[in-house]
Amino acid sequence: MKHTGTKRLETERLILRPFCLEDKESCLRNWAANPEIYRYISQNAKTPQDVFQWLSTAGQAYASPETYYWAIVEKMTGEVMGEIFVDDFSGRNGWCELDWKIGPAFWGRGFAPEAAKAVIRYLMGEVGFHRIQAKCCVENTASERVMQKIGMTQEGIFREYFHSKDNRWCDVVLYSLLDREELDFQR
C-alpha cells in the first residue's frame, strides 16, 4: 500500500479536492449546517463557528499522507455540495471505509455515485486498497442506493449497531467492493 493522501480528482461534473477556509460559506449554505444531512449519523449539524474551526485546521490533517478527505465541488458553479472521505482503514489488511454527505439541493442527480466512483478508483488504483466498504443505517435508503449504484455487494445487516441521537437502536447495512470486481456505475 502506498499512501498518497488527498489528491485532486475530476469527473465529468465534479472536482474532488482538499477543503480550504474559503469553502466556509458554501459548506454552510449547501450541507454542513443542515440537520437533515445528520439524520442518520451521530454528529450534529455544524454551526458557522464549527465550520470555521474545522476548515482552519484542515491543512494540518492534509499534511498526513494517510488523510483521504475531499470537498465535492460542482464544476459548473464551484459550489461545495458535500464531502467524501475515508472514515477508517487497515493498512495491514488492505481495506478502508468510505463515507459521504451531499446537500439536499444536489440529491437525486447522481453526484454521490460519481464522486464515490472516482474516489474508489483512486484508492484501489493508486493507493492499493484491496477492499472498500461503506455502511449506513437501514433507514438511509438514499445512501444504500449509492452503494448499489456503484456495484458494491451487500454483505449483511448489523443488528442494533448504532445508537441514534433520538435514542433508538438502528440496524446498519454493510456493502463492499473488492479490487478484482468491476466498478459499476448506473444513474
CATH of the domain at 61: 3.40.630.30
pLDDT higher than 60, residue 186 = no
Is there a domain that residue 104 lies in? yes
Is there a domain that residue 3 lies in? no
* Cα–Cα distance measured from residue 102 to residue 112, given in angstroms and rounded to the nearest whole number: 7
C-alpha cell at 168: 433508538
Beta strands per DSSP E along 39-130: 69-74, 80-90, 95-102
* Cα–Cα distance measured from residue 116 to residue 132, given in angstroms and rounded to the nearest whole number: 11
Is there a domain that residue 2 lies in? no
Q: How far apart are the first and last CA of the chain?
A: 31
pLDDT at site 183 = 66
Find the mean pLDDT for residues 52-71: 95
151 near 113, Cβ under 8 Å? Answer: no
Query: Residue 41: which pLDDT band, with cuts at 50, 70 and 90?
Result: confident
Mean of pLDDT over the chain: 93
pLDDT at site 147 = 96
pLDDT at site 184 = 57
Is there a domain that residue 1 lies in? no
Find the mean pLDDT for residues 64-91: 96
pLDDT at site 163 = 87
C-alpha cell at 24: 466556509
Is there a domain that residue 4 lies in? no
Residue 168 buriedness (CB in 10 A; 0-12 / 13-18 / 19+): exposed
Is there a domain that residue 184 lies in? no
Report the percentage of the chain scoring pLDDT > 90. Answer: 86
Task: Give the domain extent around 102.
Answer: 9-178
R_g (Cα) of the chain, nearest Å? 16
pLDDT higher than 90, residue 90 = yes
Query: Residue 49: which pLDDT band, with cuts at 50, 70 and 90?
Result: very high
Residues 129-173 pLDDT 10s: 999 999 999 999 999 999 999 999 999 999 999 888 888 899 999
* Cα–Cα distance measured from residue 125 to residue 122, given in angstroms and rounded to the nearest whole number: 5
* Cα–Cα distance measured from residue 165 to residue 115, given in angstroms and rounded to the nearest whole number: 28
Residues 107-127 pLDDT 10s: 999 999 999 999 999 999 999
pLDDT at site 185 = 46
Is there a domain that residue 106 lies in? yes
Report the percentage of the chain scoring pLDDT > 70. Answer: 97
The bridge status of strand 95-102 relative to strand 131-137 is parallel
* Cα–Cα distance measured from residue 129 to residue 1, given in angstroms and rounded to the nearest whole number: 7
The total number of structural domains in the chain stands at 1
Is there a domain that residue 187 lies in? no
Query: Residue 187: which pLDDT band, with cuts at 50, 70 and 90?
Result: very low
